[in-house]
């Protein structure tokens, strides 16, 4: 019986965060610390003709000035074949905000003053700001190696799409367009680095994978990985925007190497928006073909994603929207061409609702087909939902996924079918579904390991690479360890995400933490139990397999009075030279030969979650303003380790993906300059905006997840976007093809509908 799994225990880190004791990177300081600032490109595309730092170097208080001249020139890219970014621009700059030089000085004021003394002469080059212009034959070339500025092309073709369309009873083409979203995690990026006189570099920064950062930094600094220690620190949100390497951590570490003093670099909100990551803008063209009974038979999608100036997570980012689709709705014949295109804009990464134009296009197609074929939106999803036992077009087996239960939960709770077609004018209801993978093949960095050790008083310390960006991952592994060891989570210490101490972990960016880090901790605890029982079996004169461990006691099953305190067992072990140290290592059951571009087939993830959402809206036809009346969300997370925390992920997902993603969020531009990098110009949802949210947790008991658990929450940030968009369409009688659906776009759609009558 579960004592700690499935319990909504308060999170361990919450007390520290509620008292202000939790330390985020900008809160840290070290003795003799210097402060850094970065000079950024004012142009979207320009050659650096002259770069003179001599005046800045002479400013009193300046300790070092860093340019590409002082670097090894190692380029960063998530994959060997995507290494295209130097951490400081060498010959040319490719976006407004790119790093050109950096200063370390006695104070931030001096550092900023020094930036003004750096002289840079640029030769301005023609620039290009959207993916469709960038692939034109006469477009300016941003990287020498990329013809037509195509950074990544993911081609997937399964079945015979052209023939399959001929077999369809209903075929329809749609084009959707979305602007970029921005992460707006509340913590702006910051980094503190300290290179000591043994050449060891310690670094603190918000991150989703300290081991990825340590490896990237070690490469760039020319050090072995063991000399780079990325430390644990509280992280103020990530949402995909802290995943790969950023110039900031290199700059701080390199300046610290040059000065032999700690260096702190704190980005402004604006720098965080422009010079870390943004979401991709997209143009998506889809053709969907259905049989008369509503089964989806063929799909052809082409997507152009604006990748900005460098690759970042490009191959993954170009694939994931398609993969989420093929896991969500069955389709035997499918062709996908995803193009990630270089432009002279900031670098794009994965974001919590990656690909709203893609995902919403799919669910728009489903609603239009349902209407044409005489089905309702719930029924067409029920008929097409991927479920347990299915295999996706790219050959992932779905071992356990209760998609239908999530659809049923939201459809019934919202009384969807009773409301469909019967709501008052300007009211609408919509549904969306999405499946998210718990991880993907990541080679040597795809699994997790953990250790558990005991003090002489039986105190427990778990050592795990688990990364927590705020979503509660640390608490997940604590509850798992508690369950496996029969010890209250409050009595367990956790050492997490410190590359000097903790083993490699896949990080918190592929939705694999619960599955991989959780399993590694479970296995480590089970290993410790075995060792404990081995020692205790002599003490209790009982067979190891007859022993139980609970509440700090080892006892014989069925006769609880034959017991010995765990403390005594641990001490006996120490006496006998058998120090109990549990070890667990876990790699997910994925096909490591699967590759994003060259070989996009094989088992993608060990588990897949499924989310469904329904929202009901009211549109003001005078202003175009959308009021969301109610939202119902259901998520198959396998097993909720901590149900309230899973709900929190679902609610936060709805806020960012649904509410922000469909009603508010978009980056604005002028000639490659982001006009709204701050909270004043970029609207994020606030407390008064939000609808009541009714969360439902579906537990399909995953066969591979720890205690049945898999990814918890991300599905909702995506499927709520689809539900919001469809609900608005239902309210105004026509779909909006541009994302987000801001009031002006809602009004425009209402007016156009009045003229053309198009659905």
Partner 1 sequence: MNEARKSPPKKMVVELEVNGTRHELLVEPRRTLLEVLREELGLTGAKEGCGLGACGTCTVLMDGRPVRACLTLAVEAQGASILTVEGLADTVADREPGALHPIQEAFVDAHGVQCGFCTPGMILAAKALLDEEPDPDEARIREALGGQVCRCTGYTKIVEAVKLAARRLSGEEVKA
Output the smallest distance, CB 103 to partner 1, in A. Answer: 12
**For ligand FES, which is the closer residue by CB, 648 or 691?**
648
Output the smallest distance, CB 751 to partner 1, in A. Answer: 32
Find the binding residues for partner 1 in span 647-666 (CB under 8 A): 647-648, 651-656, 659
Return the bridge partners of 696, or none. Answer: 634
Output the smallest distance, CB 470 to ligand FES, in A. Answer: 5
CA 681 to chain centroid: 24
Indicate whether 645 belongs to the interface with partner 1 (CB under 8 A): yes
Segment contacting partner 1 by CB under 8 A, of 22-30, 514-522, 531-539, 562-570: 22-30
Output the smallest distance, CB 648 to ligand FES, in A. Answer: 9
Indicate whether 181 belongs to the interface with partner 1 (CB under 8 A): no
Distance set, CA 402 to CA 320, 387, 434, 544, 636 (Å): 21, 6, 12, 38, 6
Output the smallest distance, CB 252 to partner 1, in A. Answer: 18
Distance set, CA 624 to CA 491, 621, 749 (Å): 54, 5, 9
Indicate whether 269 belongs to the interface with partner 1 (CB under 8 A): yes
Look at residue 20 and give the partner it binds from partner 1, ligand FES, none, a contact being a CB closer than 5 to 8 Å depending on partner kind: partner 1
- CB count in 10 Å sphere of residue 617: 28
Indicate whether 24 belongs to the interface with partner 1 (CB under 8 A): yes
Return the bridge partners of 284, or none. Answer: 176, 303
Indicate whether 469 belongs to the interface with partner 1 (CB under 8 A): yes
**For ligand FES, which is the closer residue by CB, 20 or 60?**
20
Look at residue 19 and give the partner it binds from ligand FES, partner 1, none, a contact being a CB closer than 5 to 8 Å depending on partner kind: partner 1
Indicate whether 206 belongs to the interface with ligand FES (CB under 6 A): no
DSSP string for 382-441: HHHB--TT-B-TTS-B--S--HHHHHHHHHHHHTHHHHTTTSPTTEEEEEEEEEEES---
Output the smallest distance, CB 65 to partner 1, in A. Answer: 12
Number of residues that bind partner 1 (CB under 8 A): 64
**CB 148 within 8 Å of CB 135:** yes
Output the smallest distance, CB 56 to partner 1, in A. Answer: 8
Look at residue 27 and give the partner it binds from partner 1, ligand FES, none, a contact being a CB closer than 5 to 8 Å depending on partner kind: partner 1
Find the binding residues for ligand FES in span 170-189 (CB under 6 A): 186
**For ligand FES, which is the closer residue by CB, 1 or 18?**
18
Output the smallest distance, CB 654 to partner 1, in A. Answer: 6
DSSP string for 261-295: S-EEEE--HHHHHHHT-BPPEEEEEEEEEE-TTS-
How far is 161 from 167, CA to CA, in rounded Å? 10
Look at residue 469 and give the partner it binds from ligand FES, partner 1, none, a contact being a CB closer than 5 to 8 Å depending on partner kind: partner 1
Segment contacting partner 1 by CB under 8 A, of 58-66, 285-293, 577-585, 733-741: 58-66
Look at residue 184 and give the partner it binds from ligand FES, partner 1, none, a contact being a CB closer than 5 to 8 Å depending on partner kind: partner 1
Which residue pairs, CB below 8 angstroms and at least 24 apart, start in 223-229? 223/199, 225/499, 227/199, 227/200, 227/201, 228/200, 228/201, 228/203, 228/253, 228/499, 229/200, 229/201, 229/202, 229/203, 229/498, 229/499, 229/500
How far is 564 from 560, CA to CA, in rounded Å? 10
Q: At what angle do helices 356-373 and 714-732 cross, to 10 degrees?
A: 50
Distance set, CA 2 to CA 212, 515, 526, 616, 646 (Å): 35, 18, 15, 37, 17
Return the bridge partners of 120, or none. Answer: 51
Q: What angle do CA 452, 453, 456 make, to 5 degrees?
A: 155
Indicate whether 690 belongs to the interface with partner 1 (CB under 8 A): yes
Output the smallest distance, CB 183 to ligand FES, in A. Answer: 11
**For partner 1, which is the closer residue by CB, 311 or 642?**
642
Look at residue 424 and give the partner it binds from partner 1, ligand FES, none, a contact being a CB closer than 5 to 8 Å depending on partner kind: none
Among 131, 237, 294, 706, binds ligand FES (CB under 6 A): 237
Indicate whether 189 belongs to the interface with partner 1 (CB under 8 A): no
Residue 428, CB-side half-sphere exposure with 13 Å CA sphere: 22
**For partner 1, which is the closer residue by CB, 113 or 701?**
113
Indicate whether 13 belongs to the interface with partner 1 (CB under 8 A): yes
How far is 682 from 660, CA to CA, in rounded Å? 10
Q: Check residue 374 and report its DSSP letter.
A: T
SS3 content of the chain, % helix, strand, coil (to 5): 35, 25, 40
Indicate whether 268 belongs to the interface with partner 1 (CB under 8 A): yes
Look at residue 271 and give the partner it binds from ligand FES, partner 1, none, a contact being a CB closer than 5 to 8 Å depending on partner kind: none
For residue 720, what are its two tokens? 């709520």
**For ligand FES, which is the closer residue by CB, 377 or 677?**
677
Output the smallest distance, CB 187 to ligand FES, in A. Answer: 8
Return the bridge partners of 263, or none. Answer: 34, 193
Segment contacting partner 1 by CB under 8 A, of 74-82, 178-186, 335-343, 570-578: 178-186
**For ligand FES, which is the closer residue by CB, 237 or 657?**
237
How far is 258 from 57, CA to CA, in rounded Å? 13
- Residue 751, C-beta contacts closer than 8 angstroms, at least 6 positions apart: none
519: left (phi over 0), alpha (psi -120 to 50) or beta: alpha
Residue 361, CB-side half-sphere exposure with 13 Å CA sphere: 28
Q: Check residue 699 and report its DSSP letter.
A: -
Binding track over 454-483 against ligand FES, x by CB under 6 A: ----------------x-------------
How far is 132 from 67, CA to CA, in rounded Å? 33
Indicate whether 713 belongs to the interface with ligand FES (CB under 6 A): no
DSSP string for 92-153: EE-STT-EEEEEEESSHHHHHHHHHT-EEEEEE-----SHHHHTSTTSPPSSTT-GGGEEEE
**For ligand FES, which is the closer residue by CB, 186 or 226?**
186
Closest-by-Cβ residue to ligand FES is: 186
**CB 435 within 8 Å of CB 329:** no
Output the smallest distance, CB 237 to ligand FES, in A. Answer: 5
Among 457, 551, 589, 679, binds partner 1 (CB under 8 A): 679
Number of residues that bind ligand FES (CB under 6 A): 3
How far is 655 from 652, CA to CA, in rounded Å? 5
**For partner 1, which is the closer residue by CB, 326 or 474?**
474
Indicate whether 31 belongs to the interface with partner 1 (CB under 8 A): no
Indicate whether 315 belongs to the interface with ligand FES (CB under 6 A): no
Indicate whether 243 belongs to the interface with partner 1 (CB under 8 A): no
**For ligand FES, which is the closer residue by CB, 325 or 682?**
682
Output the smallest distance, CB 693 to partner 1, in A. Answer: 6
Segment contacting partner 1 by CB under 8 A, of 290-298, 317-325, 414-422, 685-693: 685-693
Q: Binding residues for ligand FES, per CB under 6 A?
A: 186, 237, 470
Which residues contact partner 1 by CB under 8 A?
A: 8, 10-11, 13-24, 26-27, 55-56, 58-61, 110, 113, 117, 183-188, 234-237, 239, 268-269, 469-472, 644-645, 647-648, 651-656, 659, 678-680, 684-688, 690, 693
């Amino acid at each position: 019986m579960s004592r700690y799994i499935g319990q909504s225990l308060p999170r361990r880190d919450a007390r520290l965060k509620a008292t202000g004791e939790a330390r985020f990177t900008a809160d840290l300081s070290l003795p003799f610390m210097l402060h850094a600032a970065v000079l950024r490109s004012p142009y979207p595309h320009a050659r650096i003709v002259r770069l003179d730092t001599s005046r800045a170097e002479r400013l009193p208080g300046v300790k070092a000035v860093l340019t590409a001249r002082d670097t090894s020139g190692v380029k960063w890219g998530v994959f060997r074949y995507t290494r295209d970014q130097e951490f400081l621009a060498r010959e040319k700059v490719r976006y407004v905000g790119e790093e050109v030089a950096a200063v370390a000085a006695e104070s931030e004021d001096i550092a900023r003053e020094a930036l003004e003394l750096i002289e840079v002469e640029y030769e301005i080059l023609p620039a290009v700001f959207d993916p469709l212009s960038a692939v034109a034959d006469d477009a300016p070339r941003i990287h020498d190696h990329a013809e037509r500025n195509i950074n990544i092309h993911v081609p997937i073709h399964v079945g015979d799409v052209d023939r399959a369309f001929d077999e369809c009873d209903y075929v329809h083409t749609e084009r959707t367009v979305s602007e970029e979203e921005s992460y707006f995690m509340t913590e702006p990026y910051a980094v503190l680095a300290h290179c000591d006189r043994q050449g060891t570099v310690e670094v603190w920064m918000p991150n989703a994978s300290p081991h990825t950062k340590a490896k990237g930094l070690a490469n760039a600094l020319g050090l072995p990985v063991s000399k780079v220690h990325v430390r644990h620190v509280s992280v103020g949100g990530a949402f995909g925007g802290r995943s790969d390497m950023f110039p900031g951590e290199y700059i701080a570490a390199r300046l610290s190497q040059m000065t032999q003093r700690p260096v702190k670099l704190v980005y402004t909100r604006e720098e965080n928006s422009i010079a870390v990551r943004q979401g991709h803008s997209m143009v998506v063209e889809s053709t969907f073909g259905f049989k008369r009974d509503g089964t989806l038979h063929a799909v052809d999608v082409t997507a152009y994603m604006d990748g900005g100036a460098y690759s970042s997570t490009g191959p993954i980012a170009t694939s994931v929207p398609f993969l989420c689709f093929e896991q969500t709705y069955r389709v035997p014949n499918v062709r996908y061409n995803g193009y990630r295109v270089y432009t002279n804009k900031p670098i794009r990464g994965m974001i919590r609702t990656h690909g709203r134009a893609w995902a919403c296009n799919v669910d728009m197609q489903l609603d239009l087909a349902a209407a044409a074929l005489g089905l309702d939106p719930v029924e067409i999803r029920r008929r097409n939902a991927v479920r347990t036992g299915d295999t996706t077009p790219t050959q992932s087996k779905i071992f356990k996924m209760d998609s239908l239960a999530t659809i049923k939960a939201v459809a019934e709770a919202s009384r969807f079918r009773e409301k469909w077609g019967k709501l008052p004018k300007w009211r609408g209801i919509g549904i969306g579904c999405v499946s998210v993978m718990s991880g993907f093949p990541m080679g040597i960095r795809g699994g997790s390991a953990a250790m558990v050790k005991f003090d002489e008083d039986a105190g427990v310390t778990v050592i795990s690479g688990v990364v927590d960006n705020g979503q509660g991952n640390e608490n997940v592994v604590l509850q798992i360890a508690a369950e496996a060891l029969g010890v209250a989570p409050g009595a367990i210490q956790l050492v997490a995400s410190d590359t000097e101490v903790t083993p490699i972990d896949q990080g918190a960016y592929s939705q694999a933490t619960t599955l991989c880090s959780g399993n590694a901790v479970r296995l480590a605890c089970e290993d410790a139990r075995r060792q404990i029982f081995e020692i205790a079996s002599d003490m209790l004169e009982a067979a190891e397999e007859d022993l139980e461990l609970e509440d700090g006691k080892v006892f014989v099953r069925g006769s609880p009075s034959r017991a010995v305190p765990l403390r005594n067992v641990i001490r006996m072990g120490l006496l006998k030279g058998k120090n109990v140290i549990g070890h667990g290592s876990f790699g997910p059951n994925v096909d490591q030969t699967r590759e994003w571009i060259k070989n996009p087939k094989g088992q993608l993830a060990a588990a897949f979650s499924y989310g469904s959402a329904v929202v009901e809206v009211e549109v003001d036809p005078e202003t175009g303003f959308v009021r969301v009346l109610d939202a119902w969300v259901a998520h198959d997370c396998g097993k909720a380790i901590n149900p309230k925390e899973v709900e929190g992920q679902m609610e936060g997902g709805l806020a960012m993906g649904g509410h922000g993603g469909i009603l508010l969020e978009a980056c604005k531009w002028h000639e490659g300059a982001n006009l709204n990098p701050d909270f004043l110009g970029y609207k994020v949802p606030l407390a008064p905006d939000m609808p009541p949210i009714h969360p439902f947790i579906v537990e399909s008991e995953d066969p591979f997840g720890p205690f049945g658990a898999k990814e918890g929450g991300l599905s909702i940030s995506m499927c709520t976007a689809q539900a919001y968009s469809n609900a608005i369409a239902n309210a105004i009688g026509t779909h909006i093809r541009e994302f987000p659906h801001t009031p002006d776009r809602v009004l425009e759609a209402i007016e156009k509908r009045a003229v053309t009558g198009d659905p």
